[in-house]
Structure 1
Amino acid sequence: MGTELNRRRFLRNLLSGATTLALAPLLLHGQDALAGDPAVFARGLRANPWLAGWKSVEAEALGPTVVEVEGQLPAGFAGTLYRNGPAWTERAGFRYEHWFDGDGMVHGWHFEGDRVTHRARMVATPKFSREQKAGRFLYPAAGTTVPDTQPIRNNDDANPANTSVATINGRLFALCEAGSAFELDPDQLTTLGPVTWRPDLASVPFSAHPLVDRDGSTWNFGAISLMGGSGLFVWHIGADGTLISGDVLDTPVRGYLHSFAQTDHYLVFTLIPFDYREGHGAFFERLRLQPDQSLRVAVVAKDAPTKARWFEAEFAAIYHFGDAFERNGQIVMRAVQHADVEQARSPMQSAMNGRPDAHGGQGRLRELHLGLRDGKARWQDTGVAGIEFPLFDPRTRGDRAARLYAPANHGLHTAPYFNAIASFDVERDRRQLHDYGESVLVEEHVFVPRPGSTRAGDGWLVGTLLDSARGRSGIAVLDAEHVDAGPLAQAWLPHTLPLGFHGHFAART
């Protein structure tokens, strides 16, 4: 009883309105500004058309547009691919320098029969709505210092809702790691508002990479350090969209994490050590990752989310994880590691500034083996490199490695970004790849199970593309078991869209 009372008291103190006002969220600090010049970016774009992937949109809504289909959509493939990413990056002669800063735009690519429809809309967060009215950026950003910022009361005053999307019980949410989930209408993409899963949890971060369990419930975390405190908040949301539990997991050190992994029985959180320099500047400007220190890895049993078994592992700069599974007393977790920690701190920074010398920050796939019996952690290379954004079929058995699907580099390519989609069966050393062409920029491809099938890997990949040579953005559907055969169907808009980060396919029910 004493522990439960202390937990409730901690949450009450941390999350009270007065405390939230005083904490000044760490991720959203920003002072004296230096930023990119929109005119410089425009000149770079004229010389390098692939920079359209980092161009700012100028309209709050796009479409709906019916898009002509090339090829044949497979029978049973029906639903909507939702995508989110930073899209509004310029105002009043001021351009964000960091890719993570732009306000989020959610896209809906809807498939019905042989018809594809696209629409997109900016997420009408308080930040975006107030800045639209003012005609300039008003609030601190994660990676760019902004001049003359207004004070914020809590995380959601500066939440761009720009990283990912999720659906729970038919409800659609736009997500960002430092604030609340924003609910959207799944058809019109209009913003319904921030979600408070319980009254005392308003503005607690609901991160951008929730994971769906086999029972249909959803796990997620929020980094309390981004609110000025310490620890992780562990969310468990039921398949019906109601809160099952919300718990605080104490952490021995402060560490950065963007996503996490799960097995059938455990959640795995990886804290990347960093130093936060005093002085002025936005969070990512002042953050310095510390490769001379170890990762701290928490293995948390799903039936005891306030307790962790801690491991120490060799440093790695990680944003995204693939699958994780349990076998022979070990947890094996796959992650994409970035060798250049500066590029990891500000990916595609040159592209954001209109320079052609950008580096995509593509990483190598490694496996982290966590010994549940001996308490040891070790990394193992897979031989796979030049990828990011790995996804897999979550129906894969809990004691087996899943086949991973990820954008990749192949052959000649115009932009310092991905131009292919690949599937990797690491344990069998099998790889399939489709090269879209040297001028095409390839985004994350989401796995979609074939209706009525329970066999892991039986389904399709659906992903978005930017063809810089033809000035168009589009979408492709591939057979997940025959990636090297190329798209079954493609559809192209007559204009380009900014590149986004993450998506989710909501099958038609």
Structure 2
Amino acid sequence: MDRRRFLRTLISSTAGLALGATALRSAPAFANDPAQFAHGLQAHPWLLGWRGVSSETLGPATVQLQGRLPAGLAGTLYRNGPAWSERGTLRYDHWFDGDGMVHGWHFNGDGSLTHRARMVATPKFTREQKAGRFLYPAAGTSVPNAQAVRNNDDANVANTSVMALNGRVFALCESGSAFEVHPDSLETIGPVTWRPDLAALPFSAHPLVDRDGSVWNFGSISLMGGAGLLVWHIGKDGQLRSADVIATPGRGYLHAFTMTDTHLVFVLAPFDFKESGGSFFERMQFAPQRAANIAVVAKDAPDKAQWFEAPFAAIYHFGDAHRSKDGIVVRAVRRDNMDEARSPMKEAMAGDGAHATNGHSTLVELHLDLRRGQARWQDTGISTVEFPLFDPRTPDSRAARLYAPTVDGASNTPYFNAVAAFDVERGRRQVWRYGSDIMAEEHVFVPRPGSRNPDDGWLVGTLLDPVNKRSGLAVLDARHVQDGPLAQAWLPYAVPLGFHGTFAAQA
């Protein structure tokens, strides 16, 4: 059997369990009530971050930047997140379920900023718009009378992140294909098939760019009811270099991964399924009594893995990974409450502002001894952070400086109100607090053109001001975060909180 046929056969043996076995089983609806959310929003304005949109497009809106944009910062910040969360009498119960909306924040070069946003026209979204109701299974909400799907892309919401590669832009989700959108208009071009025999297979939401410009990513076959990792390698030119399947010891949930110059690192959190029906996250139960399985994959042999075990950890997002004397050190954000990890901001989705919490999170280090085959976790003493990013130009011979939203001082919302830079090795922190009412999202690192020095660049991040019902963007000097924004702009409207994005520099 040739390699491609073997790969397809291996994946197909589990694909039948995908959305069919875990998400299509008949179950009562556990969805929220839109009226209840609207009532909660009146009492808690910060719930604006979880209010869905009712228009397929927003903008374009052009606003003036306050302050001075640094010379050399030119391009577009693309962001993605769940945006369409209600239809009729049904509101999604889980934050991950809303259909994706891609945002483009474009620096015009004349001191102004233009924002536009557009829903990703996936098959799911297009058919549900026509029907006027939710038709397909969701990751975390039981949808009544859900229709059968042919493959993962029938239920793909394309709502988590954005990848820019070779002049192209892609909306990403963890359970299906990348959906290409136009870099300027954001109109949907369609799902990407990297190779015909790999159509509609998971291409996750956290691809990593290597130093040669190529992209590594994974697809989790555990989300399809089986076990295994599909390892993708896409060239700088946007063409597939390789796709390999690594068998895993069992089911393990992972949302992202990290890498050094020579290795990829995957941390799989074991889970079980309830026998009763329901959506994936309703049925999934983390299994903290079992060890996490950790795969270390050499980039020059992406079809093989060295396996490690460490105590259970529920992780969505990773910072950097760097070489150490004995192997590799990985930094990640551990979610410490299992129910909250399974359904973040669940109360906010329901409009329950009185009990909503962002949960407790801890920045931890995973120490991997490659020679002895041992793994251990170590706390850093840093908590209440998420979405850590860093300058990827940092040599993997040392730890990178991490940039992440955090909470600083009093806050009137159960969300992040500040951004911080962490030098974990030296125990140093710089923080900028936006205020008690402002909610701060992920801040992307943008290198200064022409510079080769790590951390010489800017942080570009998005904000939500629920009191004034507006969304905004801030630019900070990455080396002097504590000095606050160099430039800032506010839109005349608010957009839902999203997850991840990328900055595409102007050519």
Give me the TM-score of the superposition, normalised by structure 1: 0.97
Q: Which residue of 1 aligns with 2:164?
A: 167
Match of 1:441 in 2: 439
Q: Does 1:94 align with 2:90?
A: yes
Among 448, 451, 455, which residue is 1:450 paired with?
448
Q: Residue 77 in 1 paired to residue 73 in 2?
A: yes
1:235-261 alpha-carbon deviations (Å, 9 max, x no partner): 000000000001111111110000001
Alignment match of 1:232 (pick from 229, 234, 257)? 229
Distance between the aligned counterparts of 1:494 and 1:133, measured in 2?
A: 29
Show the 5 A alignment for 1:47-446.
Answer: 47-113=43-109, 114-356=111-353, 357-446=355-444
Give the deviation of 1:15 after TM superposition. Answer: 5.6
Secondary structure of the 1:148 match is coil
CA distance in 1, matches of 2:40, 2:20: 34
CA drift at 1:9: 3.4
Q: Report SS of the residue matched to 1:473.
A: strand
Deviation at 1:230, TM superposition (A): 2.2
Contact persistence 1:30–1:283 (CA under 8 A): no
The answer on whether the counterparts of 1:7 and 1:248 sit within 8 Å (CA) in structure 2 is no
Matched residue type, 2:190: G
* Equivalent pairs, count: 504
Q: Is the 8 A contact 1:317 1:337 kept in 2?
A: yes
Amino acid at match of 1:424: F
**1:31 and 2:26 aligned:** yes
- DSSP 3-state at the match of 2:8: helix
Q: What is the identity, as a one-letter code, of the residue corresponding to 1:398? A: D
The one-letter code matched in structure 2 to 1:34 is F
Report the aligned-residue RMSD. 1.4
TM-score, normalised relative to structure 2: 0.97
Residues 27 and 178, structure 1, Cα contact 8 Å, conserved in 2? no
Decide whether the 8 Å contact of 2:14 with 2:221 is kept in 1. Answer: no
Q: Is the Cα contact below 8 Å between 1:21 and 1:152 reproduced in 2?
A: no
SS of the residue corresponding to residue 13 of structure 1 reads helix
Q: Which moved more, 1:233-242 or 1:222-231?
A: 222-231
How far apart are 1:23 and its partner, in Å? 4.9
Asked if structure 1 preserves the Cα contact closer than 8 Å seen for 2:24 and 2:147, the reply is no
Counterpart CA distance in 1 for 2:25 and 2:141 is: 7
Q: Percent identity, please.
A: 66
Give the drift of 1:361: 2.3
Q: For residues 26 and 331 of structure 1, do their structure 2 counterparts lie closer, same or farther at Cα, with a shift above 3 Å needed?
A: farther
1:86 touches 1:103 (CA, 8 Å); kept in 2? yes
Contact 1:271 1:296 in 2 (8 A): yes
The residue identity in structure 2 corresponding to 1:57 is V
